[in-house]
Structure 1
Amino acid sequence: MNNILKKIGFCICILLLGATSPGFAQEMESQAPPSSKLGLIEVMELAASQSLNVLSAAQDRDVAKGRIREAYANALPVINGGTELLYVSDSISRGENEQATASVSLNQPLFRAGSIAAGIRAAKLYEDYSERSIDSARLEAVRAACIRYYDVLLARADLQAVSETLDLSKYNLDVVNGRKAQGTATNLDVIRAREQMSNNQADLLSAENALAIARMRLFTVLRLPPGSPIAIEGELCFIKEPELEGAPLDIAMEHRPDLKVLKTQVAMQDENIIATRSDRFLSVDAVGKYSFIKPESPLYDDWTEEYYGGVVFTLPIFEGRRVSGRMIQEKAVRNQYQYAVDQKNDDIRLEVNEALDNLKAAAQVVKARETSVLQAKEALRLAQSGYEHGVNEQLDVLNAQVTFAESRLNYSRAVYNHNIYRIDLKRATGVLLKEINRTNENN
Structure 2
Amino acid sequence: MKSTILNRHFGITKLLAVILAISPFLASGQKQTLSLEQAIDQAKVRNRELRIDSLGIHKSAQQTAISRGLLMPNISLTGQFQHYFQRPVFFGLNGNANSEKIDYARIGGEDVAGAQVTLVQPIYNSGNRYEIQRRKLLEKQSKLIFQEKEVDVVARVKQNYVQQLVLAERLKLQTESIARNEKALKDSRYLLAQGKALRVDTLRAYTSVKNLEPDVLRLTYALQISQQQLRNLLGDVSETEYVLSDSLELNPSDSIPSEAGTYRLSVHQRPDLQILTLNKEINDKEIDLYKSARRPVVNFVSQYQLQTQTNQFKYGNAGYPPVFFAGVQFSIPIFSGNQHVNRIALGKIERQQADVIYNNAQEQLKTEVKQVLASLVESTERIKTQQNVSKTAELSYSITKYRYEKGVASRLELVDAEFALTTAKANYLEAVFDYLSSKIELDRVTGNVNAL
**Coarse TM-score class (shorter-chain normalised):** 0.7 to 0.9
Q: Which residue in 1 is equivalent to 2:88?
A: 89
CA distance 1:254–1:68, change in 2 (3 Å): same
CA distance in 1, matches of 2:363, 2:214: 48
CA distance in 1, matches of 2:78, 2:350: 41
Structure 2 unmatched runs, 5+: 1-29, 90-103
Match of 2:211, SS state, is helix
CA contact (8 A) 2:115 2:306 kept: yes
CA distance in 2, matches of 1:321, 1:278: 14
CA distance in 1, matches of 2:204, 2:184: 10
CA distance in 2, matches of 1:221, 1:78: 47
Residues 94-127 of structure 1, C-alpha deviations (whole Å, 9 max, x = no match): 4763332111111111111x32222222222122
CA distance 1:96–1:305, change in 2 (3 Å): closer
One-letter amino acid matched to 1:160: K
Q: Which residue in 2 is equivalent to 1:307?
A: 324
Match of 1:280, SS state, is coil
Q: Which residue in 1 is equivalent to 2:299?
A: 285
1:65 aligns with 2:61: yes
The one of 62, 67, 71 equivalent to 1:75 is 71
Q: Which residue in 2 is equivalent to 1:363?
A: 380
One-letter amino acid matched to 1:403: A
CA distance 1:307–1:157, change in 2 (3 Å): same
1:98 aligns with 2:111: yes
CA distance 1:77–1:182, change in 2 (3 Å): same
After TM superposition, the score normalised by the length of structure 2 is 0.82
One-letter amino acid matched to 1:46: Q
Residues 345-386 of structure 1, C-alpha deviations (whole Å, 9 max, x = no match): 222222111111111111111111112211221221222122
Residues 99-156 of structure 1, C-alpha deviations (whole Å, 9 max, x = no match): 32111111111111x3222222222212211110100111111112222112211110
Q: Which residue in 2 is equivalent to 1:12?
A: none
CA distance in 2, matches of 1:204, 1:415: 20
CA distance 1:179–1:396, change in 2 (3 Å): same
Deviation for aligned residue 1:213: 2.7
Deviation for aligned residue 1:303: 1.3
CA distance in 2, matches of 1:233, 1:70: 49
Q: Which residue in 2 is equivalent to 1:19?
A: none
CA distance in 2, matches of 1:292, 1:339: 61
CA distance 1:293–1:210, change in 2 (3 Å): closer
One-letter amino acid matched to 1:327: I
Q: Which residue in 2 is equivalent to 1:52?
A: 48
Match of 1:82, SS state, is strand
Q: Which residue in 2 is equivalent to 1:4?
A: none
1:348 aligns with 2:365: yes
| 181-190 vs 319-328, which moves further | 181-190
| 283-292 vs 203-212, which moves further | 203-212
Residues 219-239 of structure 1, C-alpha deviations (whole Å, 9 max, x = no match): 233233474133122223434
The one of 177, 200, 214 equivalent to 2:212 is 200
| 171-180 vs 271-280, which moves further | 171-180
Deviation for aligned residue 1:254: 0.6
Task: State the aligned residue count.
Answer: 401
| 220-229 vs 58-67, which moves further | 220-229
CA distance in 2, matches of 1:64, 1:186: 78
Q: Which residue in 2 is equivalent to 1:262?
A: 276
CA distance 1:35–1:340, change in 2 (3 Å): farther
List aligned pairs for 1:142-157, cutoff 5 A: 142-157=154-169
One-letter amino acid matched to 1:342: N
One-letter amino acid matched to 2:384: K
CA distance in 2, matches of 1:286, 1:80: 14
The one of 326, 332, 341 equivalent to 2:343 is 326
1:42 aligns with 2:56: no
CA distance 1:35–1:123, change in 2 (3 Å): farther
Deviation for aligned residue 1:68: 1.7
CA distance 1:382–1:65, change in 2 (3 Å): same
Residues 276-333 of structure 1, C-alpha deviations (whole Å, 9 max, x = no match): 21111122111111111114799x9421111111112322222222211221222223
CA distance in 2, matches of 1:143, 1:243: 19
CA distance in 1, matches of 2:326, 2:289: 28
One-letter amino acid matched to 1:405: T
After TM superposition, the score normalised by the length of structure 1 is 0.83
Q: Which residue in 2 is equivalent to 1:251?
A: 265
Structure 1 unmatched runs, 5+: 1-33, 437-443
Residues 199-256 of structure 1, C-alpha deviations (whole Å, 9 max, x = no match): 3344333333332232233223323347413312222343443455981111101100
- The structure having more radius of gyration, on CA atoms, is 2
CA distance 1:219–1:84, change in 2 (3 Å): closer
The one of 276, 285, 288 equivalent to 1:274 is 288
CA distance in 1, matches of 2:357, 2:151: 19
CA distance in 2, matches of 1:288, 1:95: 27
Deviation for aligned residue 1:399: 1.1
CA distance in 2, matches of 1:89, 1:310: 29
Match of 1:230, SS state, is strand
Match of 1:74, SS state, is helix
CA contact (8 A) 1:132 1:257 kept: yes
CA contact (8 A) 2:122 2:299 kept: yes
CA contact (8 A) 1:94 1:297 kept: no
CA distance in 2, matches of 1:340, 1:370: 44
CA distance in 2, matches of 1:364, 1:224: 38
1:118 aligns with 2:130: yes
One-letter amino acid matched to 1:73: G
Aligned residues: CA RMSD: 2.6
Percent identity over paired residues = 21
Q: Which residue in 1 is equivalent to 2:450?
A: 434
